[in-house]
Amino acid sequence: MTAPERRAHQRILQKFLVRFDDAGEMRMAFTENISIHGLFLKTRYPPPPGEQVRLLIRTARGTRVRRGMVMWSRYNLAHPGSPRVGSGAGILFRSGTREAAPGRTPLDSLPPS
C-alpha cells in the first residue's frame, strides 16, 4: 500500500541535465522529477540543507536558470565502496515561478536564461 501524495503540485518524472554551483565548484547532475515549485536533483554529492543554489537546467528549448534552496539531502549507499545510489537533494525554487498553464510542463513556466 502506498502512502497518499502530500505534494500540493503535481511532479512529473523528467530527466534534465543540470549544472549547479557547489561551494565554488560547478557540478553536473540530473533531475529525477520536477514541479512548478521545485525538483529532485539526483547527484552523488548533494549540497546540504539550507544552502542556496543556482541551477542551470538544460532543456530542448534552451537553458533555464532557477535559484532555490536545498530543503533536504540524502545519501544512499548500496554497500561500502559502491557509488551512491539514489543520492540527491530536494530543491524549492525561489518565488517568481508562474503557474504552469494547461498543456505546459513545469519548465515552460521558467524564464529562459
Instruction: Give the tens place of pLDDT for each residue, 38-58.
Output: 999 999 889 999 999 999 999
DSSP 109: G
37 closest CA partner among 105, 106, 101: 106
Instruction: Give the tens place of pLDDT for each residue, 76-110.
Output: 766 555 555 578 999 999 875 454 444 455 555 55
Instruction: Give the tens place of pLDDT for each residue, 63-79.
Output: 999 999 999 998 876 65
37, three cell numbers: 515549485
DSSP 3-state percent helix, strand, coil across the chain (nearest 5)? 5, 45, 50
In the chain the domains, ranked by start, together with CATH numbers, are 12-95 (2.40.10.220)
